[in-house]
């Protein structure tokens, strides 16, 4: 893992389907502002370009409320253009 590279997840449309891809951004690239750990901002526009994390939900099961088994893959994961920031559920 290279500390000079920031890996961000992005939602891409490929052949009509949305998939999560990983994009590597060079931290030395002066076109970007990395000062906020939650997002990457492009210097010449007044908005962020990438979030540094993508929300998803995993299933975790426990028989005793202390020891949990967490599923390897997310139960809810971004799958359409409206979920570019991830999937969240306010009820949880």
pLDDT, average across residues 15-20: 91
The confidence score (pLDDT) of residue 85 equals 85
pLDDT tens-place string over residues 27-61:
999 999 999 999 999 998 877 788 898 899 999 99
Which one, of 54, 29, 55, lies nearest residue 42 by Cα?
Answer: 29
pLDDT score at 61: 97
Q: Dihedral, CA atoms, 19, 47, 39, 52, nearest 10 degrees?
A: 10
């Amino acid at each position: 893992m290279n500390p000079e590279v920031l890996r961000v997840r992005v939602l891409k449309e490929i052949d009509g389907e949305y998939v999560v891809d990983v994009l590597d951004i060079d931290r030395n690239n002066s076109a970007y502002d990395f000062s906020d750990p939650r997002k990457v901002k492009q210097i010449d526009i007044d908005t962020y370009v990438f979030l540094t994390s993508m929300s998803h939900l995993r299933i975790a099961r426990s028989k005793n409320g202390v020891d949990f088994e967490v599923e390897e893959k997310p139960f809810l994961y971004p799958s359409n253009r409206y979920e570019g920031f991830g999937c969240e559920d306010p009820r949880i």
